[in-house]
């Protein structure tokens, strides 16, 4: 997710990614290395990685990001190879451009500022737009989902992906209000169902929009497959850096790195040890990093960000890192 920016075309000032300096520190780029940016977006990470001396293979499934990115790369002449597709398929996408293994992978999970700031994409209720939310601009729209899915399914999605405690009440209100075609309509339905007051600190519609977006785009499954693909393509000593924006994403990354580094808690008399795990693929993860107060002040969207990183093991010995907490 990038810093706040206007919904202007590719000629506008670039977005500034969250935790940029910290991500670059985790990637520890050396000139001539090959690194993958699995979530290109507006290209902020990719440009910074290329400026640090990396050959960058950048991936995005959003046709807008691909079209605008290719224009920018042609204009700036940066060392970035932009490939369209989901980052869960990065192993085959990277192989398709002639790379066997890479020295680093960065993933910035969730919706990008470029998507959020464009009302016509339907990801946000800050400005009214069509109820869309499709990252790839293909398949089922959010309007399709809220207008055709059974009430129970809507409630399950709101509870599972939005952690909405009153999901059944919201789902019932959505079904009663059909058809819902605009982002402002859906936001108002959710607010009325939950008794939202204008002075409340957090808009309850945020949880519903997050849940529907994650469901439509299969984001958590995409993240799990993407982490496995990153493990496959990282060379010994290669670095993985993942930025997440809410607890569901962060939990997946944290558990993956613990499991694949052999850092899961040992058994106890209440929970006996299981069979020994296969050889660890990563060194113990670095300590989780969160944005400074100064960064949050500059970009409120950074407030929930968490960076987790680790070094790929193999024949080469990995450098020591402070253990995550």
Distance CA 154, CA 176 (A): 12
Question: DSSP labels for 113-152?
Answer: HHHHT-GGG---SSS--BS---SSS-S--HHHHHHHS-HH
Most confident of 104-113, 117-126, 219-228: 219-228
Q: Is the pLDDT of residue 13 over 60?
A: no
DSSP helix/strand/coil, 192: helix
Residue boundaries of the structural domains of the chain: 20-114+219-311, 121-217
Q: Beta strand 306-311 with 234-244: parallel, antiparallel or unpaired?
A: antiparallel
pLDDT band at 321 (very low <50, low <70, confident <90, very high): very low
Pick the CATH number of 20-114+219-311 from 3.40.30.10, 3.40.309.10, 3.40.50.150, 3.40.50.12240: 3.40.50.150
Task: State which H helix or E strand residue 244 sits in.
Answer: strand 234-244
Distance CA 302, CA 102 (A): 28
Tens of pLDDT, residue by residue over 270-287, are 445 445 457 899 999 999
- Rounded mean pLDDT, 110-130: 80
3-state percent breakdown (helix, strand, coil) of the chain, nearest 5: 45, 15, 40
Instruction: Name the more confident of 117 and 28.
Output: 28
- Contact yes or no for 90/59 (Cβ under 8 A): yes
Distance CA 167, CA 107 (A): 30
From 219, 209, 277, 215, select the one nearest 244 (Cα to Cα): 219
Could you give the percent of the chain with pLDDT greater than 70? 86
Predicted pLDDT of residue 115: 66
The overall longest dimension of the chain from CA atoms, in Å, is: 63
Instruction: Classify each residue of 12-30 as buried b or exposed e, where b means 16 or more C-beta atoms within 10 Å of its C-beta.
Output: eebbbbbbbebbbbbbbbe
Neighbours of 261 (CB within 10 A): 21
Instruction: Classify each residue of 45-77 as buried b or exposed e, where b means 16 or more C-beta atoms within 10 Å of its C-beta.
Output: bbbbbbebebbbbbbbbbebbbebbeebbeeee
- Contact yes or no for 60/84 (Cβ under 8 A): yes
Pick the CATH number of 121-217 from 1.10.150.170, 1.10.10.10, 3.40.605.10, 1.10.150.20: 1.10.150.170
Instruction: Name the more confident of 224 and 204.
Output: 224
- Rounded mean pLDDT, 28-57: 96
Predicted pLDDT of residue 120: 80
Instruction: Name the more confident of 298 and 325.
Output: 298
The distance from CA 163 to its chain's CA centroid, rounded to whole angstroms, is 18
């Amino acid at each position: 997710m990038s810093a706040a920016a206007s919904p202007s075309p590719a000629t506008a000032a670039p977005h500034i990614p969250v935790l940029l300096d910290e991500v670059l520190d985790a990637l520890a780029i050396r000139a001539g290395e090959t690194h993958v940016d699995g979530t290109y977006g507006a290209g902020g990470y990719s440009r910074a990685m290329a400026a640090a001396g990396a050959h960058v293979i950048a991936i995005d499934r959003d046709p807008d990001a691909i079209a605008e990115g290719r224009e920018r790369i042609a204009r700036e002449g940066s060392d970035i190879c932009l490939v369209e597709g989901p980052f869960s398929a990065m192993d085959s996408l990277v192989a398709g451009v002639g790379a066997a293994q890479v020295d680093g992978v960065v993933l910035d999970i969730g919706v990008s500022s470029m998507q959020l700031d464009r009302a016509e994409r339907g990801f946000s209720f800050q400005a009214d737009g069509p109820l869309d939310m499709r990252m790839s601009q293909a398949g089922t729209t959010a309007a399709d989902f809220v207008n055709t899915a059974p009430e129970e399914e809507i409630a399950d999605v709101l509870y599972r992906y939005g952690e909405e405690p009153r999901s059944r009440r919201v789902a019932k209100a959505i079904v009663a209000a059909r058809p819902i075609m605009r982002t402002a309509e859906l936001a108002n339905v959710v607010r009325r169902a939950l008794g939202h007051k204008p002075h409340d600190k957090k808009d309850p519609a945020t949880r519903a929009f997050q849940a529907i977006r994650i469901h439509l785009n299969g984001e958590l499954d995409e993240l799990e497959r993407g982490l496995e693909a990153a493990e496959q393509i990282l060379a010994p000593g290669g670095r993985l850096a993942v930025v997440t924006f809410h607890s569901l994403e962060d939990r997946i990354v944290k558990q993956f790195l613990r499991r694949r580094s052999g850092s899961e808690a040992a058994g106890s008399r209440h929970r006996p040890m299981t069979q020994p795990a296969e050889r660890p693929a990563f060194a113990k993860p670095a300590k989780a990093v969160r944005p400074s107060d100064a960064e949050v002040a500059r970009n409120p969207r950074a407030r929930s960000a968490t960076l987790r990183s680790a070094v790929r093991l193999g024949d080469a010995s990995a450098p020591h890192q402070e253990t995550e907490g």
